[in-house]
Amino acid sequence: MEISTLATYHCLAFVWYFFVAYSIAHIKTEERPSEVFLYGGQWKYLTVLNLVLQAVFYGVSFLADVLRLIKKLRCAKCVISSRDLLFSVLAFPVSTFVCISFWTLYTYNRELVYPKSLDGVIPLWLNHAMHTAVLPFALLEIFALPHRYPAKKKGLILLGFVAFLYISWVLWIYSVTGEWVYPLFALFSPSGLAAFFAGSLAVIVSFYNFGEFLNRMIWGQSKFCL
C-alpha cells in the first residue's frame, strides 16, 4: 500500500477511535443503570481501555506515515519501532480478545458482561463499535503493511505484564467497593477466579501468536516498512 494511502487510512482510523472513545466517555453518569457502579469510571472496563489503546496506536502509525512522507527517515525508524511494538504486543491481541470473549459470553448469557439495562444507555452502533469493529480493524492492519515482531520472550513478558496490571486493577476495585467490574467474576471461588484469569491469559497469548503467524504468512520474515 502506498504511504499516502496508509497515512489516510491511519488518520481516519485514529479519528474513528477517538470519536468512539469520546462518545463512551461522555455518557452521562446519571443515566447509568444500577448494575454499573461509579468507582473507576469508564477506565475499569477493558473495552474502554482498548479504545484508548487503538487510538494511540493509530495516532503513532499516522505520525510514522507522515515522517516517511516528508523523508524524516531517522525519526520515522524510531516511531515505526514503537508502532510495531504497540501493534504486536497489545493492539492486535487485546482487540481480538475483546471482540471474541465479549461475543462468546454475550451469546452464552449477556447479563454476565453486558446487562440488558445498558441497551437504554449505549446505542447499538456504539456497542458494535466497541466490541465488533475492533477485530476487522486489527485484521486490516495486518493485511495493510508488515510489522516487526519483538523476540518472543520479550513480547510475551510485555503482554503478561500489561495483563497483570489490568488484573491488579480489577482486584483493587473489588477490594475497595466489594463489586466486580464484570458480574461474571462473582460466579467464581478465589481458586476458580485465578484459573479463569490464567485461562484468559492463555487465550490472549494465543491471539498474540496468531497475529505473529498471520504477519509471517502474509509478509514473510524480511519485508518491513522503513
Residue 59 has pLDDT above 80, yes or no: yes
**Could you tell me the residue range of the domain that residue 174 belongs to?**
3-25+39-219
Let me know if residue 224 belongs to a domain.
no
Let me know if residue 31 belongs to a domain.
no
Residue 49 has pLDDT above 90, yes or no: yes
CA dist 66 and 72 (Å) reads 9
Let me know if residue 175 belongs to a domain.
yes
All 3 cell numbers of residue 120?
Answer: 437504554
Q: pLDDT over 90 for what percent of the chain?
A: 73
Identify the band that residue 200 occupies on the pLDDT scale cut at 50, 70 and 90.
very high
Identify the residue with better confidence: 127 or 3: 127
Let me know if residue 195 belongs to a domain.
yes
Average pLDDT over residues 191-201: 96
Under 8 Å between Cβ of 56 and 90: no
The whole-number pLDDT of residue 74 equals 79
The whole-number pLDDT of residue 135 equals 97
Domain count, the chain: 1
Identify the residue with better confidence: 72 or 56: 56
Under 8 Å between Cβ of 67 and 82: no
